[in-house]
């Protein structure tokens, strides 16, 4: 006899199959067409009372898990004592992000964060118990290292705190419970300044030279191009001199984000990616660059320090500085083609910012992070414009217009400095470029930073080759 149409009926049934008792169920918990059912592994003898009882127990355990999953998604089945577990609640929260069309990258990050902090240790705990466990979760988050044994970075802790806070607010509304993390994250998330000051106290930087980029390679196909870097420069200028209605409130200003900058200020800051690409300095080294360390006649920079991202840059005072990565200064050679632009940067800095090439534009005390946010805003603008062009079928084939990160600009400098002149490079030697980048090992320069540039590929394909004797 066919089961009556009832999508939220009993999703589990014990039935005979080839002379044995087996359990058939709907994986989603919603009764749809019969073809959607699946068999639970295992079978039991119908003539043995013990095995029949074991089959019923297995079916009931499966039924309870499915009902709990239903309850976690807001569907309570009458007649069943459903318990929403932490694991089911976390999965329901992630699904709610997907349904709200949250960017996939954010969804994956939240899934990984909650999986490590909540699902793995408390998979079967009732959601009501989470409030009593929340203090321990927050304590471990702040004190435990990463799985590879390395200490967590402040930004990583900040992101995990945000994931817990978002889940707690959602769970409190969804299941009519007290927010399990209420009052436990406020001291860290209430203000960026408070969080950074606490982070500074936790880090205790034993190694003052730990700042700077990691020596990590990038996908050669993502190596920035001249077009991509110029596009980023243009996007920074346009984004910082206007307000975009789709951007969340950030800093001073209305719903369009930070207040617009004056044209000359925006132009100076927008030039920073091109400056890094033509000098190969690290991001924090560029933010600590002063005109007194630029030798324009020789197109050289003295890199003796970098911006200390863990201390405030108080308006009206000199920036907080620390030694560059490795603790050793170096002399950097700037590409000759950049001389005119560099002269303009120096002139503006001497007249307006006390000689600092790229000074805070809105009195941001945490300038390293504010600068990173500025780059992200420009990349967001480029992503939106790319999507619009894509809809019209006019998007360029490469997406590096908005994929370019600040550290990738060092890869650009290294690759084009080492590339042959026939491909548009400078054909500098590996030891020379190694010295300019500040690498202790030639291997780092060759294996991580040197990439085949696009022009070299074109030349390789277009150069005729003749085998001997043909």
Contacts of 467 (CB under 8 A, 6+ apart): none
Count of other CB atoms within 10 angstroms of residue 253: 14
CA distance 280 to 292: 19
Residue 135: C-alpha distances to residues 125, 356, 463 (Å): 15, 44, 66
In this predicted model, what pLDDT tens digit does every residue of 401-446 receive, in sequence order? 566 778 888 888 988 898 888 877 888 998 998 888 888 888 888 8
Q: At what angle do helices 104-114 and 154-175 cross, to 10 degrees?
A: 90
Burial of 433 (0-12, 13-18, 19+ CB in 10 A): buried
In this predicted model, what pLDDT tens digit does every residue of 107-139 receive, in sequence order? 888 898 898 888 888 888 888 888 888 888 888
Contact in structure between 72 and 65 (CB atoms under 8 Å) = no
Handedness of CA 24, 28, 29, 34 (dihedral sign): negative
pLDDT of residue 212: 47
pLDDT of residue 190: 40
pTM of the predicted model over 0.75: no
For the ranges 51-65, 275-289, 442-456, the maximum mean pLDDT occurs at 275-289
Q: How many CA atoms lie within 13 A of 185 on its CB side?
A: 23
Of the pLDDT bands very low, low, confident and very high (cuts 50, 70, 90), residue 256 is low
pLDDT of residue 281: 93
The phi and psi torsions of 306 (rounded to 5 degrees) equal -140, 165
300-303 and 294-295: which strand pairing? antiparallel
pLDDT of residue 51: 86
Of the pLDDT bands very low, low, confident and very high (cuts 50, 70, 90), residue 195 is very low
């Amino acid at each position: 006899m066919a089961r009556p149409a009832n999508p939220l009926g009993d999703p589990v049934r014990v039935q005979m199959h080839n002379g044995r008792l087996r359990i058939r169920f709907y994986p989603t918990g919603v009764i749809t067409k019969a073809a959607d059912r699946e068999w639970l592994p295992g079978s039991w003898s119908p003539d043995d009372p013990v095995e029949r009882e074991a089959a019923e127990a297995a079916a009931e355990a499966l039924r309870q898990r499915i009902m709990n999953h239903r309850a976690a998604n807001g569907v309570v089945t009458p007649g069943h004592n459903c318990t929403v577990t932490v694991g089911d609640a976390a999965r329901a929260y992630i699904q709610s992000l997907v349904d709200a069309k949250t960017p996939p990258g954010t969804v994956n990050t939240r899934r990984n964060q909650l999986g490590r902090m909540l699902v793995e240790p408390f998979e079967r705990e009732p959601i009501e118990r989470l409030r009593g466990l929340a203090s321990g979760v927050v304590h471990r988050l702040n004190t435990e290292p990463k799985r590879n044994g390395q200490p967590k970075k402040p930004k990583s802790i900040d992101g995990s705190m945000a994931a817990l806070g978002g889940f707690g607010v959602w769970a409190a509304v969804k299941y009519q419970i007290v927010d399990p993390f209420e009052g436990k994250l406020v001291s860290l998330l209430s203000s960026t300044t408070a969080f950074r000051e606490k982070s500074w106290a936790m880090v205790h930087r034993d190694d003052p030279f730990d700042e700077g980029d990691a020596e990590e390679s990038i996908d050669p196909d993502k190596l920035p191009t001249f077009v991509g870097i110029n596009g980023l420069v243009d996007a920074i200028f346009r984004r910082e001199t206007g307000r975009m209605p789709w951007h969340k409130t950030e800093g001073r200003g209305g719903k369009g984000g930070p207040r617009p900058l004056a044209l000359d200020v925006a132009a100076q800051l927008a030039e920073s990616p091109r400056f890094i690409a033509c000098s190969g300095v690290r991001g924090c080294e560029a933010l600590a660059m002063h005109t007194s360390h630029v030798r324009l006649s020789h197109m050289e920079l003295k890199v003796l320090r970098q911006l200390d991202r863990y201390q405030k840059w108080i308006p009206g005072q000199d920036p907080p500085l620390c030694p560059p990565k490795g603790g050793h200064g170096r002399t950097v050679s700037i590409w000759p083609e950049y001389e005119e632009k560099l002269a303009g940067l120096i002139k503006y800095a001497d007249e307006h910012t006390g000689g600092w090439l790229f000074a805070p534009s809105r009195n941001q005390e945490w300038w390293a992070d504010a600068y990173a946010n500025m780059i992200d805003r420009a990349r967001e603008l480029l992503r939106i414009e790319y999507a619009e062009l894509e809809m019209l079928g006019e998007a360029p084939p490469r997406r590096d217009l908005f994929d370019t990160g600040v550290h990738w600009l060092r890869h650009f400098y290294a690759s084009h400095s080492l590339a042959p002149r026939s491909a548009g490079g400078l054909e500098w030697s590996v030891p020379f470029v190694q010295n300019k980048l500040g690498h202790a090992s030639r291997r780092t320069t060759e294996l991580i930073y040197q990439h085949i540039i696009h022009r070299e590929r074109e030349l390789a394909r277009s150069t005729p080759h003749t085998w001997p004797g043909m």
